[in-house]
Amino acid sequence: MKPLLLLLLFGLVAPAPSPAQATRLDPPKLEVSVNRVNLDALHMYEVGASGTVQASPASVWKVLTSYDKMDEFVPDLQSCRVLSRNGNEVIIEQFGTARFLFMSKSIHLIVRATEQPMSTIDIALISGDMKHYESRWELQPVPETGGTRVLYSGRMVPNFYVPGLLGTNIIRGDIERMMVAVLSRLDKREQ
């Protein structure tokens, strides 16, 4: 169920840092929460994650809105391409793989990203392998350091079976991997 999540907009493998970079690229501190809730007879996962990077909001914005490059660093995201752009709305197609236990599931999503420059990206499912998917990236400047607090939140219902409590742990792991990859990429750009 890996890219389920960042397919959930953004999930492939970040390159491992060299030993010289390891001290500089320690995984950013992050907070992650995942809850399974029932809403209208759907077993929905509500997720939240946040972390702070040294990158400026403008640098963070540039990385998060370079959708065609997401597959370079987001875990399990095989491809991500812009289908169309109209003002602040972007239609994006993503392919990835969700893995849990001994199973693997290909995931295909078409989503609409609505951008509020330097502030938020709201993502909504148009079609694909989810019954419901919505997420939000939010940027908060950190004036004391010149960095940025990056928040990710979402609600999702897979279009395939995900085992109850085990699913919560799988999704938490996916969100952590995705956020570490994204935050590490953001900090890497500031070097």
Answer whether 0.85 is exceeded by the pTM: no
Distances, alpha carbon 26 to alpha carbons 90, 134, 141, in Å:
33, 30, 21
- The answer to which of 33-42, 54-63, 71-80 has the lowest mean pLDDT is 33-42
Distance between CA atoms of 164 and 175, rounded to whole angstroms?
Answer: 17
Most confident region among 6-10, 100-104, 118-122, 182-186 by mean pLDDT = 118-122
* Average pLDDT rounded to a whole number, residues 3-24: 38
165 — pLDDT class (breaks 50, 70, 90):
low
Average pLDDT over the chain, rounded to whole?
82
pLDDT at 59: 94
86-119: pLDDT as tens digits? 999 999 999 988 766 666 778 899 999 999 999 9
Contacts of 122 (CB under 8 A, 6+ apart): 113, 114, 116, 134, 135, 136
* Tally of CB atoms within 10 A around 131: 14
**Which is nearest to 32 in space by CA: 18, 46, 14, 20?**
46
pLDDT at 23: 39
Greater confidence (164 vs 26) lies with 164
15 — pLDDT class (breaks 50, 70, 90):
very low
pLDDT at 137: 97
Asked if the model's pLDDT at residue 18 lies above 90, the reply is no
User: Pairing state of beta strands 42-53 and 77-86?
Assistant: unpaired
**Which is nearest to 152 in space by CA: 168, 134, 130?**
134
Q: How many residues does the chain have?
A: 191
pLDDT at 102: 62
pLDDT at 21: 40
* Tally of CB atoms within 10 A around 64: 21
